[in-house]
A and B are shown apart, each in its own frame.
Chain A
Amino acid sequence: MSIGGSDLDKAIGQLRACRPIPENQVRELCYKARELLIEEGNVVGVDAPVTICGDIHGQFHDLMELFRVGGDVPDTNYLFMGDFVDRGFYSLESFLLLLCLKVRYPDRITLIRGNHESRQITTVYGFYDECLRKYGSANVWRYCCEVFDYLALGALVTGATTSLSPTDGPLADNTNIDSLPDSDADIEIETLNANGEIMYRYARNSDSQSSAASQANSNPASSSPVAPTPTRTGPAGTGASGSANGSKGNDTGAILCVHGGLSPLIDTIDKIRLLDRKQEVPHEGAMCDLLWSDPDEIDGWGLSPRGAGFLFGADIVKCFNHRNDLSLIARAHQLVMEGFKEMFDSTIVTVWSAPNYCYRCGNVAAILELGEDGSNAGFVRRSNGDQGGGNGGWVLGSNVGNGNNGGQGGNGNRRLSSVLGDSMRPREGPGRRYRVFEAAPQDSRGMPAKKPVADYFL
């Protein structure tokens, strides 16, 4: 039998109901998927608008919640940064559904490989056992692993806008309208809850920002929302001309998406393109690092406590972004309690999409929406002068008196940027809309749900 057209839609329907499809259909699906994926480069090109998602880990019900919050395929263009399987109870249904959607709508969904898309890891962390339990043999696991070997290692998002068109949504309960920037301001970051209500929003080149600012100041240790450090060093030069960033007003660099992070063996994106990816994830080397590494508050490179990949510091990210004309690296791989976490002057962000991870961690999840360049056509950068006195733009050091913002975040980064000088000034970051959501009630959609039982030490 062949899985195409209506068969595929049938399979999608069945998987959406969290019911596995028969083994022969899985084989067919995996074959089709491989044919498709083999055509993709190691770094897939993706046009904005796109919604970027982090780890899923077999939490099928939460994946459905993600689609509810972020929009369905194919209406929304998705990019999943790996770790579809392991840990949760429904790795099989989650991965096969994503794969079906990929085969059905290849241009509307991009899947890249995570470190759990590996034979070795899945035998330890659950996916292998799940396949064995659900099919009575390891065949399906084998088919899936063959697909894993063909998944791209990264994606490069281009055409993202620097400025979000503000959501016309209601405010979330705790949001103070006075804390939101003016309606005509250039919105850099907006965070919405699962109901589409605005949690906070803040403007580029503004130090009178949303509640995120006070939140970050009152709790410098909290990871995200990060201290709202604008990515720019000082508009005094840039902003003053009104069009110093080019007449289009949208000149954000590309966004590199990768599951883990950078590798000391990779200094250009072209080097990623040259790797031979069609293999099991190796224990070391560039391919391994891309899937295993983590950013950390260190200088340069460090050893990873995970036993694979490396730790890398702000200097590494800034150099890499500059060299490759990137404005942002989006990655997943690390649990962050608030769903997302921007680091290093917003040059890298961790996106985590598995709420209440392992049914135990109590975290919320997030997805990152990047808007399309041109959705804000005709936009021209506002100069400081245009904004008027009290509402002035971001001036180097202008918010230093604005409380002691944790000591590290803002000040240090700003110093770094000024040290690096104009030649190293980061590209204008894309406008970023985060949608934050919680774990789905397990029995809410009539889908079979095993009562989650998390292990503790008893």
Chain B
Amino acid sequence: MSAPEIPNLKSIFANRRGAPSRGRGRGRAHAGASSERAEEVRDTAVRSTDQDAAGSRVSCVELGYLDDPYAQLFATQASTRRLPLLNRGTYVRTSAIDLLVDRFLQTTPDAPKQIVSLGAGTDTRYFRLKDHYPNINLRYHEIDFATNTAAKLARVNTNKQLYTRAYPDSPPDVFKLDTRPTTHYSSSYNLHALDLRSLATASDDAPPPTLPNLDPSIPTLILSEMCLTYLQATTVSSILHTFLDTYIPAPTPISLVLYEPILPNDAFGRTMISNLASRNIHLPTLTAYPELEDQRQRLKGYGFIHGFKAADTRLIWREWVTGEEKERVAGLEMLDEMEELDLLLKHYCVAWGWRDGGDGVFTRAWAAVLEQEGA
């Protein structure tokens, strides 16, 4: 599960106004100082939602929904118990992505594999996988803004549990560490401090930034939990083409797993959009890909031609979670929000697509994963 980091609003708003990235012009500057101030306010609002998500994860762990000894280490606010409805939703989302990742890692388990987590934020997946698959040959990459990677590394470097897992090769000389590092490279865990949108502007003249240790020749799973959804659809498309064509060119198998909201046009969806807008949060891909079928076609359009599937989290709860596990989870808390839970779960989906020649690792890994019929 990730507390999906919301990209830095400064960049998002700069982008919305037409400026391609941070640090360059701010687009239409007519609002001047007051717009800077407004952005700071939005920044703060969004950062608080990030810690909110980290808190949701802690709530799930404390109540027994999830087993994640690392969640607490990254949450900065005192834990508050979340509503059963939200705990259930967090559980479904996390276990859905766990399932896809596990099937991938368990297929030809000795072969090297790679995972790239976009906007990973305070996600603990790497550390959990490291415990679960101690001998696996896995390169894990996280990409996020420097402020976020710096915060994460500050935590990693001061906690022994995290530290020993993040430095698998040879522990560094602590005295040589940057006082405030933003990047981290090792044979298994890598943190790249960069603005995702810089991958979208790549061209022949301006190649995309180098991602150290990213291996172009080993099967790669890209993970976006509520990350790409904050970007314009065209930007997302460009970013993925950079991955599919430049970073991980064919025939290396590559896949994408998305977790995003859907169904913007019904009463719940309209309310979601307006509620989030009042918090200055906008989800361009929600309106660009309103239904499950749009999500599938979108994956295909990116070049994930050997599989493009999607299911809403309501179906995932019903069909992916085993009966025994459902019983365990249902027993954790009395849940009085059945209709609301249904609504909420219907409005989020997992979409997964791959390119592997049609008989590669992803085709085999996900052959039995049930998708949803229809739109």
Interface residues of A (CB under 8 A from B): 115-116, 120-121, 124-125, 305-308, 334-337, 356-363, 451-458
Bitwise interface map of B from 269 to 286 toward A, beta carbon under 8 Å scored 1, else 0? 111100110110100000
Which of B90, B268, B281, B335 makes the CB contact (< 8 A) with A361? B268
A456 to B281, CA, bound (A): 11
Instruction: Report chain B residues within 8 Å CB of A116.
Output: 336
Instruction: Report chain A residues within 8 Å CB of B269.
Output: 362
A307 to B335, CA, bound (A): 7
B53 within 8 Å of A by Cβ?
yes
The residue in chain A whose Cβ has the minimal distance to the Cβ of B336 is A306
Q: Would you mind naming 14 contact pairs between A and B with Cβ atoms under 8 Å apart?
A: A116-B336, A124-B81, A124-B333, A307-B334, A334-B339, A360-B271, A360-B275, A360-B340, A361-B267, A363-B267, A455-B82, A457-B90, A458-B4, A458-B53
A360 to B4, CA, bound (A): 21
Nearest CB in chain B: distance from A58 CB, A: 14
Bitwise interface map of B from 240 to 282 toward A, beta carbon under 8 Å scored 1, else 0? 0000000000000000000001000011111110011011010
Nearest CB in chain B: distance from A79 CB, A: 22
Q: A306-B334, A457-B348, A458-B49 are in contact. Are A358 and B340 (CB under 8 A)?
A: yes
A335 to B53, CA, bound (A): 26
Instruction: State whether B278 touches A451 (Cβ < 8 A).
Output: yes
Instruction: State whether B339 touches A115 (Cβ < 8 A).
Output: no
Q: A337-B267, A361-B343, A458-B53 are in contact. Are A121 and B336 (CB under 8 A)?
A: yes
Instruction: State whether A306 touches B226 (Cβ < 8 A).
Output: no
Instruction: State whether A457 touches B226 (Cβ < 8 A).
Output: yes
Q: A125-B336, A335-B340, A458-B6 are in contact. Are A362 and B276 (CB under 8 A)?
A: no
A157 to B276, CA, bound (A): 43
Which of B84, B272, B331, B340 makes the CB contact (< 8 A) with A456? B272
The residue in chain A whose Cβ has the minimal distance to the Cβ of B275 is A454
Nearest CB in chain A: distance from B42 CB, A: 14
Instruction: Report chain A residues within 8 Å CB of B334.
Output: 120-121, 124, 306-308
B162 within 8 Å of A by Cβ?
no
The residue in chain A whose Cβ has the minimal distance to the Cβ of B260 is A457
Question: How many residues of B sit at the interface, in one of the four size bands?
Answer: 35 or more
A298 to B268, CA, bound (A): 27
Main secondary structure of the interface of B (DSSP, over half): helix
Instruction: State whether B86 touches A455 (Cβ < 8 A).
Output: yes
Instruction: State whether B84 touches A359 (Cβ < 8 A).
Output: no
A455 to B341, CA, bound (A): 12
Which 4 A-B residue pairs are closest in the complex by CB-CB distance? A362-B267, A362-B271, A335-B339, A362-B268
Instruction: State whether A360 touches B336 (Cβ < 8 A).
Output: no
Instruction: State whether A458 touches B226 (Cβ < 8 A).
Output: yes
Bitwise interface map of B from 138 to 165 toward A, beta carbon under 8 Å scored 1, else 0? 0000000000000000000000000000
Nearest CB in chain B: distance from A356 CB, A: 6
A305 to B272, CA, bound (A): 26
Instruction: State whether B335 touches A306 (Cβ < 8 A).
Output: yes
A192 to B84, CA, bound (A): 35
Instruction: Report chain A residues within 8 Å CB of B52.
Output: 455, 458
Bitwise interface map of B from 62 to 99 toward A, beta carbon under 8 Å scored 1, else 0? 00000000000000000001111010011001000000
Most buried by A among B53, B268, B339: B339
A362 to B52, CA, bound (A): 23
Instruction: Report chain B residues within 8 Å CB of A455.
Output: 52, 82-83, 86
Tell me the B316-334 residues at the A interface (CB within 8 Å).
330-331, 333-334
Nearest CB in chain B: distance from A302 CB, A: 13
Which of A125, A362, A456, A458 makes the CB contact (< 8 A) with B270? A362
Q: With contacts A120-B334, A124-B334, A362-B268 known, what are 16 further pairs, Cβ within 8 A?
A: A116-B336, A121-B334, A125-B83, A305-B338, A307-B335, A334-B339, A335-B343, A337-B267, A360-B275, A361-B268, A456-B272, A456-B275, A457-B261, A457-B348, A458-B6, A458-B50
Instruction: Report chain B residues within 8 Å CB of A334.
Output: 338-339
Instruction: State whether A361 touches B340 (Cβ < 8 A).
Output: yes
A256 to B49, CA, bound (A): 45
A397 to B206, CA, bound (A): 73
A457 to B272, CA, bound (A): 11
Instruction: Report chain B residues within 8 Å CB of A363.
Output: 267
A124 to B82, CA, bound (A): 9
Which of A307, A308, A357, A457 makes the CB contact (< 8 A) with B340? A357
A457 to B90, CA, bound (A): 8
Instruction: Report chain A residues within 8 Å CB of B49.
Output: 458
Nearest CB in chain A: distance from B179 CB, A: 31
Nearest CB in chain A: distance from B93 CB, A: 6
The residue in chain A whose Cβ has the minimal distance to the Cβ of B81 is A124
The residue in chain B whose Cβ has the minimal distance to the Cβ of A451 is B278
Instruction: Report chain B residues within 8 Å CB of A308.
Output: 334
Instruction: Report chain A residues within 8 Å CB of B275.
Output: 359-360, 452-454, 456
Tell me the B280-338 residues at the A interface (CB within 8 Å).
281, 330-331, 333-336, 338
Instruction: State whether A306 touches B338 (Cβ < 8 A).
Output: yes
Nearest CB in chain B: distance from A70 CB, A: 22
Nearest CB in chain B: distance from A118 CB, A: 10
Nearest CB in chain A: distance from B5 CB, A: 10
A307 to B343, CA, bound (A): 19
Instruction: Report chain B residues within 8 Å CB of A457.
Output: 53, 86, 89-90, 93, 226, 261, 348
Instruction: State whether B279 touches A453 (Cβ < 8 A).
Output: yes
A182 to B82, CA, bound (A): 53
Instruction: State whether B336 touches A456 (Cβ < 8 A).
Output: no
Which of B53, B268, B331 makes the CB contact (< 8 A) with A360? B268
Instruction: Report chain A residues within 8 Å CB of B281.
Output: 458
The residue in chain A whose Cβ has the minimal distance to the Cβ of B343 is A361
A361 to B276, CA, bound (A): 13
The residue in chain B whose Cβ has the minimal distance to the Cβ of A120 is B334
Instruction: Report chain A residues within 8 Å CB of B53.
Output: 457-458
Q: A356-B271, A362-B267, A458-B226 are in contact. Are A115 and B336 (CB under 8 A)?
A: yes
Which of B6, B84, B348 makes the CB contact (< 8 A) with A124? B84
Instruction: Report chain B residues within 8 Å CB of A358.
Output: 340
Nearest CB in chain A: distance from B80 CB, A: 9
Nearest CB in chain B: distance from A451 CB, A: 7
